[in-house]
Amino acid sequence: MLKSRDDRATADDSSTISPMSSPSRLSPSSVDSSSPYLLRKASGDRRSLRPGAPSEPNEYNFNYRKRGLFLIINNKNFHPSTGQDTRDGTNVDAERLEERFQDLGFEVRRYNDVASSRMTKLLYEVAGYDHSDSDCFGCAILSHGIEGRIYATDGMLPLEILTLPFKGDRCPTLVGKPKLFFLQTCRASRIDRVLDLTDSVSDRSELSEELDQGGVPGIRKIPVEADFLFAYSTVPGYYSWRNNQDGSWFIQALCIVLENYGPKMELIHMLTQVNRIVAYEFESCSDEEFTERSKQMPCIVSLLTRYVYFRPKKPDIRD
């Protein structure tokens, strides 16, 4: 089990807290090969691939000339008025992310200590670019936060404001393409505790009691448009842990998985591995009793409609 080397592991939180008929038998020639739900035999000759060429029906088309742009917004230092502590270790996260997504073919742009007006302007400017030659778009935000809101260096911004410019009615050159957001922030102040698997049944009564007393899961907004993915470092309502020397648990695990499987494994499968690593292999080691042996569970919110593969570009696509 991975433990924090630094006894002062910290959290990225806010200090304020008609009936169908039976199917008839179809001959191979009568099957509609244009249907995206039918698995088709892959052609053995892929040498004819060119920018914008059709891809496999259940995968996003990643045969454009460029992989796409990937932004890293890395907030370490905050104005005193925010009441937020310095996020030591975040530069390690940013450097690892930059390397991993460059390896996957992205054009990576990193921005450190971004104020609210600049962050909003930056994302709206990027959404206004022509992404016609790109497979997708990606963005990682490393900062403090609470549910639905992220800290710039001088105050909070709603997450929805940051993603709004990339929706289909505002960014036509990314319509039908994945918009990937990786969010290393807290989502409130609760701390996830260690739970032995053998104790899981006995804890159901506690959950039932909480619901009987009026506790209900938090309602969160997610975009209704397709092709967005949000990979949160933690579930709603909880801390997100970060080591002052090694970086955050979530970004550490994400970069390990991308390094080993990035060009060959589907994205949701990779994020499931990230979930497992963070949930089972990390545990806090703190000098404060109330945070000792705490755990973390990442969260995937996917509105993707196809599979995402970061396969290497073919030479005739890049040229």
Q: Which residues does the annotation mark as catalytic?
A: 144, 186
Among the listed residues 111, 135, 228, the one whose alpha carbon sits nearest the alpha carbon of residue 181: 228
Helix-then-strand count for the chain, H and E: 7, 16
**Which residues neighbour 172 within 8 Å (Cβ) at sequence distance 6 or greater?**
none
Q: Are 1 and 282 in contact (CB under 8 A)?
A: yes
**Which residues neighbour 179 within 8 Å (Cβ) at sequence distance 6 or greater?**
136, 137, 138, 163, 166, 227, 228, 229
Strand partners, 137: 69, 179
Give the gyration radius of the chain's Cα atoms: 22
Q: How far apart are CA 166 and CA 171, in angstroms?
A: 5
Q: 10 Å Cβ neighbour count for 57?
A: 14
Amino acid present at 77: N
Amino acid present at 39: L
CA distances from 118 to 125, 137, 141, 154 (A): 10, 19, 14, 11
Tokens 């593969």 belong to which residue? Answer: 309
**Which residues neighbour 87 within 8 Å (Cβ) at sequence distance 6 or greater?**
10, 12, 75, 76, 77, 142, 143, 144, 242
